[in-house]
């Protein structure tokens, strides 16, 4: 399924959990998806030759208390295994939550993974909030 097709299907879909989606494909080929269960942190989906990557920017390094960076990194390592279908990482100075799906993942599973990633974003941010500015 192309990202254009995925955007169309997501925009017309409401999940069993009553989540609605707003998906917009940018000119640079990134599908930005906002989920109604967490509209503040959109998920960026890119398609590679082998998978769909779902990436949610969380916060920048500059938003972390300077003396708490090591503590933050340790906390993220500890909570990462407890975050279903998602992992935490860093791209440059941006902390991210990400997940990967096979290209042949069925639509219902993509929907589920997006819902879970949106919820995981809020859980991760709540866990590390005391370390942020």
* Residue position matching structure tokens 């942020």: 132
Q: In this predicted structure, what is the pLDDT of residue 112? A: 97
We report the CATH number of the domain holding residue 49 as 3.30.1460.10
| Token pair for 6 | 């995925």
Q: How far apart are CA 34 and CA 47, in angstroms?
A: 17
What sign does the CA torsion over 10, 14, 18, 22 have?
positive
For residue 88, give the 3-state DSSP assignment. strand
Per-residue pLDDT of the chain (133 residues; tens, 9 = 90+): 999 999 999 999 999 999 999 999 999 999 999 999 999 999 999 999 999 999 999 999 999 999 999 999 999 999 999 999 999 999 999 999 999 999 999 999 999 999 999 999 999 999 999 999 9
Q: How many domains does the chain have?
A: 1
pTM: 0.95
- Computed on alpha carbons and rounded to an integer, the radius of gyration of the chain in Å comes to 15
Domain of 34, in residue numbers: 3-131
Q: How far apart are CA 60 and CA 26, in angstroms?
A: 22
Angle at 79 between CA 77 and CA 84, to 5 degrees: 115
């Amino acid at each position: 399924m192309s990202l254009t097709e995925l955007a169309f299907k997501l925009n017309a879909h409401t999940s069993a959990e009553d989540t609605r989606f707003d998906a917009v494909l940018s000119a640079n080929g990134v599908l930005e998806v906002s989920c109604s269960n967490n509209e503040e942190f959109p998920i960026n989906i890119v398609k590679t030759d082998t998978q769909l990557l779902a990436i949610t920017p969380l916060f920048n390094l500059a938003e972390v208390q300077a003396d708490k960076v090591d503590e933050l990194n340790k906390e993220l390592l500890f909570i990462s295994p407890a975050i279903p279908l998602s992992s935490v990482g860093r791209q440059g100075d941006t902390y991210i939550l990400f997940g990967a799906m096979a290209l042949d993942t069925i639509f219902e599973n993509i929907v589920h993974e997006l819902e879970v990633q949106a919820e995981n974003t809020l859980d991760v941010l709540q866990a590390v909030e005391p370390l942020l500015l």
